[in-house]
Structure 1
Amino acid sequence: MKHLMIAAGLLSATAAVAADKPQLTVYTYDSFVSDWGPGPKVEEAFEAVCDCDLNLVGVEDGAALLSRLRLEGENTDADVVLGLDTGLISAAKETGLFAPNSVSADYTLPIEWPDDVFAPYDWGYFAFVHNADGAAPANFRELAEGESKIIIQDPRSSTPGLGLLLWVKAAYGDEAPEIWAGLADNIVTVTKGWSEAYGLFLEGEADMVLSYTTSPAYHLIAEEDASKAAAAFDEGHYMQVEVAAKLASSDQPELADQFLEFMVSDTFQQIIPTTNWMYPAVTPAAGLPEGFDTLITPEKSLLFTPDEAAAVRDQALAEWLGALSQ
């Protein structure tokens, strides 16, 4: 009995210590907090230096993150949001929910980064992933004219889905409706988020899935499987830069700043390539993992500025909806 009383006392003391620790709540997307995503390693590493409790809350996808924050407004529990991208920055700023940060980093992005509210943590190029033993189209026109069945994500809930709209718009401009009209018959299904779409592709439900040029690295490194490839499109590939920011309503602003600084540290950045399967925003001291050198490198990079993306978003969405409703 005495031993039980002592054990109970130790458990109570441990719980009290845990309760005394401040909590930082970070909203992010589901794949980030999954067992195979960066979340578990990031949580362990940050809690080792912050003397806090890091609470990672998963939401379906990046666009869904912004929708949730809009609904919750200043009453949100989030201190930090991680998982928006350049296509959503302008809309996110319009909410007035975010505060400037003091992040300082030597970014190795392909573009300059002047924003003082949203800090990048990784980047990549959108691409259609397919089985490497099959032929792949060289551009959107070939894809539309061919028989390949594809799975894409909904641009209203998914950052890759929105990225695809911007990709087509950046590559074809006023001809984008024509491209979507041609692609409509190729689309097997439209999912809410990336995870569902990629899972369906792996189950054999389609020939290709909208993902990233870096996705084959997962199969190569984690599974020793070289059977997946990303199709290289000659009109260029649209770039995604994923970002994080702190909420102006946070009751842990200093801890939020600490997390954002940690986010661009070598510890965090070296976690990204083999868990989020993207390029890190700051190349780790050890460099990129073996296998990343096998990935395709787009000959042309496409990217709207946040303001440009906001200006064309509604038109691009209308063109997409119009084509799929025929």
Structure 2
Amino acid sequence: MFNIIHLLLLLFLTGSSVLAEGTKPILTIYTYDSFTASWGAAPKIKKAFEKECNCTLKFVSTSSAIGALRKIQLEGKHTKADILLGLDTSIAQTAKATGLFEKHDLNTSSVVLPTAYSDAYFVPYDYSYFAFVYDANRVKNPPRSFEALADMPKDFKIVIQDPRSSTSGLGLLLWIKEIYGDKAGEYWKKLAPHILTITKGWSESYGLFLKGEADMVLSYTTSPAYHMIEENRTNIKAASFTEGHYGQIEVAAVLRSSKHQALAKKFLSFMLSPTFADIIPTTNWAYPVIKTAKGLPKAFEQLTVPSKMLLMDGKKIEARRKAYINEWLDAIQK
């Protein structure tokens, strides 16, 4: 009897060992909801990366990338996140100051952007420009400047995102600050009557716009490409503003607490591959940061392309962001 029990125990332990060796590591990425949507980038990226990593890629989404950062901050060293993906350069400095992230140690010389950007912690993977998007069938004469937007008839409504919870909302805040400087608060007071609502994230705003609830929505110059390619519609357009357009460069970083540091950095390296770059234009509807093997879809040739990317220094934003937000709150609440 002893020998049989010993044999069964040996077989069990051997089997457990094989099982453990065959278990793939799980790499967890926190990001925003539109990235993980069925039509978003995550499903294709998961499939492509899993082919070469011998791992399981898991995406966890919140309504915004800022929300994902806050989730990580609340979880602290116990977070399950290995990577935070979807912040942009406007909030990256804030994230860096938390001390939660690890240097990537990658060569990013292949990155091509409209403006210089390099960071030891955050790796860029796509970019676009903020813009107000409208339906040309409904809005025949869209505003072509911030002044023209504020001077539209009283019943002309826009939907925007909250700068406290959304990178795009923060982008608009900085866009207006770059143009109006000390008079930004005065401009917000003029614009306030046209704001139908302020949503927590981009998805909610865009959904309201598509339902016809508002005349314009804060989105991106690349947003119309989705409608052209997926719906064969050319009536959704981005208004070109004479003052220029503020840019968004999206980035990702590895958590210092990650138990899969090497694998996480491998994913960041994968973000700079032609495979990843080819996925971005028709899933995240943005420009990849490296030249694609396939080239950009033809629809991108019809998009509004600003001559210059407005972008505020990250350290300046970190130092003054709270003051900018308070200025905004004070202006729109009066």
Common fold, TM-score beyond 0.5?
A: yes
Q: Does 1:317 align with 2:321?
A: no
CA contact (8 A) 1:234 1:299 kept: no
Is 1:50 aligned to 2:58, yes or no?
Answer: no
Separation of aligned partners in 2, 1:287 and 1:27: 28
Matched-pair contact (CA < 8 Å) for 1:177–1:323:
yes
Alpha-carbon deviations, 1:20-62, whole Å to 9, x = none? 1111001011111100000000000011100001111111101
2:113 to 99, 109, 112: 109
- After superposition, the Cα gap between the structure-2 partners of 1:17 and 1:32, relative to the gap in structure 1 and judged at 3 Å, is farther
Q: Does 2:134 correspond to 1:137? A: no
Partner letter of residue 35 of structure 1? S
| Residue identity opposite 1:143 in structure 2 | L
Structure 2 residues without counterparts, runs of 5 or longer: 1-14
- The 2-side partners of 1:324 and 1:175 are apart by 14
Q: Report if aligned partners of 1:180, 1:319 keep a CA contact under 8 Å in 2.
A: no
- 1:269 touches 1:283 (CA, 8 Å); kept in 2? yes
Q: CA deviation at 1:300?
A: 3.4
Name the residue aligned to 1:94: 97
- Cα pair 1:122 1:242 within 8 Å, conserved: yes
* Cα displacement (A) at 1:17: 7.7
* CA displacement at 1:278 relative to structure 2: 0.5
Match of 2:175 among 158, 164, 167: 167
The whole-number CA distance in structure 2 between the counterparts of 1:77 and 1:56 is: 11
**Contact 2:114–2:309, Cα closer than 8 Å, also in 1:** no
Q: Would the aligned equivalents of 1:130 and 1:230 in 2 still touch at CA under 8 Å?
A: yes
% identical equivalent positions: 52
Correspondence for 2:246? 238
- What is the match of residue 78 of structure 2? 75
The Cα RMSD (Å) is: 1.6
Asked whether 1:209 is paired with 2:213, we answer: no
SS of structure 2 residue aligned to 1:70:
helix
Kept in 2, the 8 Å contact 1:171–1:302? The answer is: no
Following TM superposition, by how much is the alpha carbon of 1:295 offset from its aligned partner in structure 2, in angstroms?
Answer: 0.5
Equivalent of residue 161 in structure 2, options 153, 164, 173: 153
Specify which of 219, 244, 262 is matched with residue 254 of structure 1: 262
Corresponding residue of 2:208: 200
1:123 is matched by which residue type in structure 2?
Y
Runs of 5+ unmatched residues, structure 1: 1-11
Deviation at 1:102, TM superposition (A): 2.2
**CA distance in structure 2 between the partners assigned to 1:180 and 1:17 by the alignment:** 58
Counterpart of 2:3 in structure 1 is: none
Out of 291, 301, 304, the position equivalent to 2:309 is 301
CA–CA separation in structure 2 for the residues paired with 1:45 and 1:297 = 30
Task: Indicate which of 104, 125, 128 corresponds to 1:124.
Answer: 128
